[in-house]
Structure 1
Amino acid sequence: MRIAKVAVYVDRQAAERHWHYGLNVFQTYIYEILEHAGIAYEKVDRADRLDGSAYDVVIASLTNEDAAGSQALWDAAAAGSTVIAYGGLSALAGKIHAIQLPASSAGYALLPEAIGETRPLRFTAAQPWGVAPEAGQVRQEGTVRLHHPEGKDIAPLLLVFPIEKGELHRFAVDIPTTVVHLQQGMSPVLFDGVPAPDGSAPLNEGILKADDRISLDWELDRIHSETGQPYFPHPYADLWREALVSHLLRTVTDKGMTLPFVGYWPDGVQHVALISHDSDGNIDESAETTLRVLKEQDIRSSWCMIEPGYSPEVYDKILGDGHELAFHYNALTTDKGFWDEAEFKRQFGWLKEATKLDRIVSNKDHYTIFHGWGDLFAWCESVGIQVDQTRGPSKRGNVGYLFGTCHPYMPIAWANERNRMYDVMEIGFLTQDLDIDRWADSSVIVPFLEQAARVEGIAHFLFHQVHLHTKESVRKAFARFVQEAKSRGFVFWTAEEINAWERSRRQVRIQTSGEGVDVQVALTLQAGAEAASASEASGKADGIPAKTVVWIPLPAGQASPESVLKFGVPCLKKVVS
């Protein structure tokens, strides 16, 4: 069966015009969404390069809203391509008899039934359209609601317009921009966030943190556990990514083609658990207790070290047991820390000297301190840190999916850096130490794990060594988390291992041969990519990651008893070692 050719059209001239006026082009985040999904595509940056016969699908993420740009998209659809857009395309509205409605910055959407997600998803950017009577047969799927998940339907979420041999699929929601807003906030962290009305999350304490800018609603997006513990239960960003990928795969298979993609994890792994620790207090005895507790549970973890750290012999024990040593940057003024690149580098230099390590992969900021938009990610890049873990809750009342995701992702820069992608992987956490009065209780363990498993993500829990050492309640909550995770098939990896796997799988490119369901798969590394280093724990070998899973969507009507539903589409599984 033929692999569909997918083009992602981000008009360079339009992007340059936005940047000239200091405006963000978060529509470019479509690249990161597809890269993480393991889907191959070609970049197109000018309308005149959209040859109607060259691409089966054209994702028009950012277009030049002029006659030439709209005509190029029309011609591509007329020649048989399916054009997909997430908002925009105002220049085409009149030609296809669409009615442009007022833009919306917040609301909820019900997805098309075919995608399978029935929960209304929060969005942060939408440009809804209606349809004039003279438009003819236009398919309408899903709905957009303003302000409230149970509010009035104001427009369809997805409109499908037939255009000669092809179609135009236009979503009302700007999905890439919404994913960015959910994961990174809608603006830089310049001042305190708005506290929760019930007093459970006093963000206005005068310390700038990652959670001072979240895109969720305290009342509409939180629920309470059976013990009354408030939490954010929905990984909205992950669900939007799934909706985008599901629609793309259905579009391709409905055309009788396939679009293979690389699985999130190696064969035998469905979802991953990550435990990290912050060495606040730096008490050697607390490290010894933590090592003992980890050995009892037979798991490895990531240790974020804050100056002045442990005694040298403790580091040897941590590494000897297979754990990761990571950085814990301290910018808390009450600890005489401050937010500054030179200070970040000074503290990082201390850690390398104290641990005698040439390479340290991960960082998490003390107290989740975070200023601005991308400063921290740029600092991490400059010293070779490849993973950040800072984006998580700092209060009892905002634990959970407050940033909408439990997947590793590359963050995007602000317009002043032309919305480039940082070469740093964010792996946020869901909660800190459980069953302490000022923190969440252990009633959140199961719902957090269930949602992480639902989206094949990472259940990242933070436990401080000092609390594991001094509080029996925390040790019991820790043991419960580990046992609940293992019983649900979670595999425990360190942040370093997650980073190595994710970066290596992103370098894989797929070739298939054969017809029907008799498909053979081969993999190659992306040109110029460095081979991944061997790591037994994450199942990699030099070059192609070992046990790489490739999913091959089946064209509509080509059923197979061996197929498995992925993103709502029947797929064949191929394991390539």
Structure 2
Amino acid sequence: MKIARLAVLFDRQAAERRWQYGLNAFERYVGELLNDAGIPYAWLDDVAQLKQASYDLVIAALTDESARTAAALWEYAEQGGTLISYGGVNALALKLGYAMESPAGPGYAKWGAGYPKAEAVRFLRAQPWREAKEPAPCSAFGALALSSPNGDPAGAARLRFTIGAGVLDRFAVDVADTIVRLQQGGMPVLEDGAPAPDGSAPLDDSILKADDQSAMDWIWDRRTTETGVPYFAYPHADYWREIVIGHLLKTAADQGLTLPFIGRWPEGVERVAMISHDSDGNKDEYALTTLELMKEVGVQSSWCMLEPGYSKPVYDLIKRDGHELAFHYNALESQKGRWDAEEFARQFAWLTEAAGVNEVASNKNHYTRFEGWGELFAFCESHGIQTDQTRGPSKKGNVGFLFGTCHPYVPVAWSNERNRSYDVLEIGFLTQDLDLSDHWADSSVIAPFLEGVADVDGVAHFLFHQIHIQKHESVRNALRRVVSEARERGYVFWTGKQINDWQRARRNISIAALDDSGAVETASGQPIPAGAFAWVPVPDGATVQDEDTETHFGVVCVKRPLRSASGSIKREDDLHVQTGH
């Protein structure tokens, strides 16, 4: 099998022009989607680079609308290339007999039976095309609906045109923009968010929080459990990941090519769950009760420490039992905290001194306090904190997939930082303290959360405070139930640090080639973390004789080992992540 040559075109001059006027170029996130999947690709920052190599597939992530660019893209497709766009390449519309509609959104893309499982996937912005004078023949896929899944039609979700010996596959939806704003909020957090119309999530509490900016819909994106608990039920950002990657794999397969990608978790790990705690109250007895409960259920968890924390002997016990000591930054004004880089640094210095740790891998903000767009991630970067867990619900009525994702993901900056990627992995949480009277959701959300996470291969992250574990048997039983139901579904429990270490290790693997034995070669001399492997999609029409096959992204794939380009398997044992409970 031959690996498809894939490139992403992100026109640097077009991006610089946007940034000059304070506009975002979230199209840059297309590269991050491929990095996350572990798919090899080339990065082009000028359309002239299309002629430097023969690419089978090119994603036109961001281009200008000049005649020069239009001619180069047309020539590429005409000569047999496959051009893919997510809401762009509008300069080609007239040549194909089409015209741009007004930008549309938010709304829902309906793909019919097939992949992903969701019947309708939320989008935030689309640029549909309509037929104009002498429209070129094309194939249409899916349909856009405005405002609601059954709203006014807004055209096809994807159009496929034949151009000479090649094709243009154009999604109407600006997928990168939709994913980024679902994950990070529609805008920076500057004021309270609008409360839920049913009163279940009073966000207008005069405290700036992560969930004051959510791009999900209170009506169409929530469901209720059998006990009447409302929850956000659809990880729409993750569905878009599945759609985009699945389309790439299928497009390559249709050409008799393949696009190998790195397995999400190491060999022997099918699904990952996580439990974290926030030390609100800071009494040693709360910690000791929690340590006993975690020992009972056999789970190592992440302990986010709020100043003034516990006594030193308790920290020693936490570390002895293999739990992660993490940071719990407090910017709550009512507790004399503030949103400030110096205050973050002061509290962080307290934690390292009090807990006797030199490095801290994770942070979660107290009360999910959040301001602006990317300042928190910059705070974390400056102190070597590699993962954040702040993005989750602060109210009973917005638990679940509040930010459209359960994936560990890399957040991106606003236009003032040129939409760069932060050196931080966000691992959001689904809910806090189940069965805590009427304050939070009840245990009926556990099964839909675990099943929803499993559908998109994410992380099922549950937050339980030590103070509530100490004071409420119902909360202790809810934690026991989370662990039991997760294990029944094949989940293993990792800490935030374990998730971070593994994901960073797998993202450093660069696929180079397929060797004659069917193994996947990585870049020469590159360390391969223990347990890492690749999935190789089977080209269209190929016969599959290997028993080690699974369907991923809607495509049949064969599991293959990873080998360094020299031919020997090179392991990096210190990156090994435990696969047990």
Q: State the TM-score, normalizing by the size of structure 2.
A: 0.94
Deviations 1:396-439 (A, max 9, x none): 00000010111111100000011100001100000000011211
Letter in 1 for 2:80: G
Deviations 1:465-484 (A, max 9, x none): 11111100000100000000
Q: Which secondary structure does the structure 1 equivalent of 2:535 belong to? A: strand
Q: Which residue of 1 aligns with 2:576?
A: none
Distance 1:362-1:463 versus aligned 2 partners, 3 A rule: same
Contact 2:112–2:119, Cα closer than 8 Å, also in 1? no
For these two proteins, the number of residue pairs brought into alignment is 560
| Pairwise CA distance, 1:512 | 3.4
2:551 partner amino acid: L
Secondary structure in structure 2 of the residue aligned to 1:275: strand
Counterpart-to-counterpart distance in 2, 1:302 and 1:50 = 47
User: What is residue 567 of structure 2 aligned with on the other side?
Assistant: none
* Cα contact 1:130–1:156 (8 A) shared by 2: no
1:471-521: CA deviations, max 9, x gaps?
000001000000000110111000001000000100101233356xx6222
Match of 2:560 in 1: 574
Aligned-residue identity in percent: 55
Structure 1 contact 80–167 (Cα < 8 Å) conserved: yes
Aligned mates of 1:467, 1:486 — CA distance in 2:
23
Q: Which residue of 1 aligns with 2:481?
A: 480
Unaligned runs of 5+ in 2: 563-570, 572-581
The Cα of 1:116 is off from its aligned counterpart by: 4.5
CA contact (8 A) 2:59 2:83 kept: yes
Q: Deviations over 1:510-553 (max 9, x none)?
A: 233356xx6222334797xxxxxxxxxxxxxxx31111120001
State whether residues 113 and 142 of structure 1, in contact with CA within 8 Å, keep that contact through their aligned partners in structure 2.
Answer: no
- Residue of structure 1 in register with 2:158 after alignment: 158
Matches within 5 A, 1:299-448: 299-436=299-436, 437-448=438-449
**Which one is further off, 98-107 or 156-165?**
98-107
Deviations 1:70-93 (A, max 9, x none): 111111101111000001212110
Native 8 Å contact 1:53 1:80 kept in 2: no
In structure 2, relative to structure 1, the CA distance for the partners of 1:87 and 1:235 (3 Å cut) is same
**Within 5 Å, which residues of 2 pair with 1:414-563?**
414-436=414-436, 437-514=438-515, 519-524=518-523, 543-561=527-545, 562=547, 563=549
Alignment of 1:68-147 (within 5 A): 68-111=68-111, 113=113, 115-132=115-132, 134-147=134-147
C-alpha separation in 2, matches of 1:430 and 1:10: 34
| Displaced runs of 4 or more, over 6 A | none
Aligned amino acid, residue 560 of structure 1: V
**2: CA distance between counterparts of 1:479 and 1:471?**
13
Q: What is the rounded CA distance, in whole Å, between the counterparts of 2:495 and 2:178 in structure 1? A: 29
Alpha-carbon distance in 1 for matches of 2:357, 2:342: 20
Contact 1:62 1:88 in 2 (8 A): yes
**In 1, Cα distance between the equivalents of 2:208 and 2:550?**
45
Bigger shift: residues 133-142 or 428-437: 133-142
CA RMSD of aligned residues (A): 1.4
Tell me whether 340-349 or 51-60 shows the greater mean CA deviation: 51-60
Range that drifts further, 360-369 or 151-160: 151-160
CA distance in 2, matches of 1:320, 1:514: 45
* Counterpart contact for 1:115–1:247, Cα < 8 Å: no
1:526/1:340 CA distance change after superposition, 3 Å:
farther
- Residue in structure 1 matched with residue 7 of structure 2 by the alignment: 7
Query: What's the counterpart of residue 550 of structure 2?
Result: 564
SS of corresponding position for 2:561: strand
Residue identity in the other structure for 2:492: V
* Deviation at residue 355 of structure 1 after TM alignment: 1.0
Q: What does residue 29 of structure 2 align with?
A: 29
Helix, strand or coil at the partner of 1:548: coil
TM-score normalised by L of structure 1: 0.95
Hey, what does 1:179 align to over in structure 2? Answer: 179
**CA displacement, residues 379-407 of structure 1 (integer Å, 9 cap, x when unaligned):** 10001100000000000000000101111
SS at match of 1:439: coil
Cα distance between partner residues in 2 of 1:132 and 1:454: 40
Residue identity opposite 1:484 in structure 2: E
Shift of 1:374: 0.6
Residue 133 of structure 1 deviates from its aligned partner by 7.0
Amino acid at match of 2:500: N
1:62 aligns with 2:62: yes
Q: Give the CA deviation at 1:130.
A: 2.2
- State the alpha-carbon separation in 2 of the partners of residues 43 and 318 from structure 1: 45
* TM-aligned CA distance change 1:136 to 1:93, over 3 Å: closer
Question: Is the CA contact 1:389–1:426 (under 8 Å) kept in the aligned structure 2?
Answer: yes
Contact 2:6 2:58 in 1 (8 A): yes
Structure 1 SS opposite 2:96? coil
Taking the aligned partners of 1:414 and 1:433, their CA distance within structure 2 comes to 33
In the alignment, residue 74 of structure 1 is paired with which amino acid? Answer: W
The answer to whether the 8 A contact 1:112-1:158 is kept is: no
Q: Distance in 2 between matches of 1:12 and 1:548?
A: 34
Q: After the TM superposition, which residues 200-219 of structure 1 pair with which residues of structure 2 at under 5 Å, given as runs? A: 200-219=200-219
252 and 112 in structure 1: CA distance in 2 versus 1, 3 angstrom threshold: farther
Q: Secondary structure at the match of 1:215?
A: coil
Gaps of 5+ in 1: 528-542
Query: For each residue in 1:200-252, what CA deviation from the matched residue of structure 2 results, as whole angstroms up to 9, or x when unmatched?
Result: 10000000000000001111111111101010011100010010000011110
- Indicate conservation of the 8 Å contact 1:9/1:63, yes or no: yes
Change (3 A) 1:514 1:374: closer
**Amino acid in structure 2 at the alignment position of 1:313:** P
Between the aligned partners of 1:287 and 1:500, the Cα distance in structure 2 is 26
Inter-CA distance 444–525: structure 2 relative to 1 (3 Å threshold): farther
Q: CA deviation at 1:118?
A: 4.4
Q: CA deviation at 1:462?
A: 0.1
One-letter amino acid matched to 2:328: H
SS at match of 2:434: coil
Distance 1:383 1:219 in 2: 40
Aligned residue for 1:157, secondary structure, equals strand
Q: Which amino acid aligns with 2:191?
A: F
Cα deviation, residue 135, structure 1: 2.7
Contact 1:277 1:464 in 2 (8 A): yes
Question: Closer, same or farther in 2 for the Cα pair 1:550/1:211, shift >3 Å?
Answer: same
Asked if 1:38 corresponds to 2:38, the answer is: yes
Residue identity in the other structure for 1:90: N
Q: CA deviation at 1:154?
A: 2.3
- Report what 1:531 is aligned to: none
